[in-house]
Amino acid sequence: MNLPQKKNAQSTSRESVLPDDSIPTRRRISLAIAFPELPREFWSQVEKGIDAAILQYRDLGLTVRSVRSKDYDLTDQKQKMLELVDSGEYDAIAISPNDPQEMTDVIDYAVSRNLTVSTFNSDSPLSSRLFYIGCDYRVAGRLAADTLCRFVGRKGRVGLIMSYTNLQMQQKVTGFREVIGSYPDVELRAPLKLGPEEDTPFETFAEYFEGLDGLYVASAKLHLIASHLEAAGLAGRLALIGHDMNEDIHEGLKRDAITATICQDPFSQGYLIVKSLFEYLSSRKQPGPDEKRIKLELVTKENARYYV
């Protein structure tokens, strides 16, 4: 692998610095947590979980630095990851890879440099990472399909909106298709694939919406799709399901523009990746199977207030 020259990382740091004499008999443990900038609301909730873990473990010698890569830019994420590895400043790195397959060589390179590497939110199972903290996205897709089919009365036509195809998206779509296929009276329209842009014009969706009874948004565009449905006068007439929770999605639920959303507990993802790496480095304790998996929770307007 041709490695780029080391440059100064442009990153957002979240560090807890201890006085030199605060824990004289304890080993200092330094972690770097790398993840993309988008979607901003999701990752800000992850950072709250990271901060909670820092607060819990900083007096035991933990320091943590969070590094965000630009948008969904794989090149930028690779560069930042290599800078972290080559700096020699960290005992472990946690990464949410933009593209799990493309990041395999970089993760393996980090491990070859005697760094502990784990993944969270998005896995890279072909790499030599130690463990993964996150959701089972195949189950997430299955949950979305079963819920959507029930909302449309187990018959009719449903659509699927997805973004660029990575491992996480593949798993969601696989699970979704598996369950849709078990409902003989539900027809699945060919998926609409969108780019990573934050704002996509209504014209992109206008024809796709026609004749649909339900729609699953597997990407991070649920609130955008909801606003377009409202503009088209389809809000409440077409069942809409997606992922995550933020103020825009909460408002969409309250207005019935969004039927339900599947929350992936971003706070716990941030908290558990720091906790798990700290415990591994300090005592070689790996998280158990139940600790690695993040719960999936179905949210409607009736219980949405508990998730914002």
Residue 301 domain-assigned?
no
Cβ atoms of residues 191 and 176 within 8 Å: no
Q: What is the pTM of this model?
A: 0.86
Query: So what's the pLDDT on residue 196?
Result: 67
**Same-domain pairing of 182 and 249:** yes
- Crossing angle between the packed helical segments 40-57 and 266-283, to the nearest 10 degrees: 40
Residue 144 domain-assigned?
yes
**Same-domain pairing of 145 and 209:** yes
Query: So what's the pLDDT on residue 166?
Result: 81
Residue 11 domain-assigned?
no
**Same-domain pairing of 283 and 218:** no
**Same-domain pairing of 237 and 148:** yes
Flag residues of the chain having pLDDT under 70.
1-26, 196-198
Scan for tokens 């969004």, then name that residue: 258
Residue 285 domain-assigned?
yes
**Same-domain pairing of 190 and 286:** no
Number of domains in the chain: 2
Query: So what's the pLDDT on residue 13?
Result: 42
Query: So what's the pLDDT on residue 205?
Result: 84
**Same-domain pairing of 110 and 153:** no
**Same-domain pairing of 207 and 273:** no
Query: Which tokens is 197 given?
Result: 């842009």
Query: So what's the pLDDT on residue 5?
Result: 43
What CATH number is attached to the domain comprising 71?
3.40.50.2300
Residue 78 domain-assigned?
yes
**Same-domain pairing of 235 and 287:** no
Q: Which residues, at least 6 apart from 64, have a Cβ–Cβ distance to it below 8 Å?
A: 14, 15, 16, 30, 31, 32, 33, 50, 53, 54, 274
- Structural domain containing residue 255: 137-263
Residue 16 domain-assigned?
no
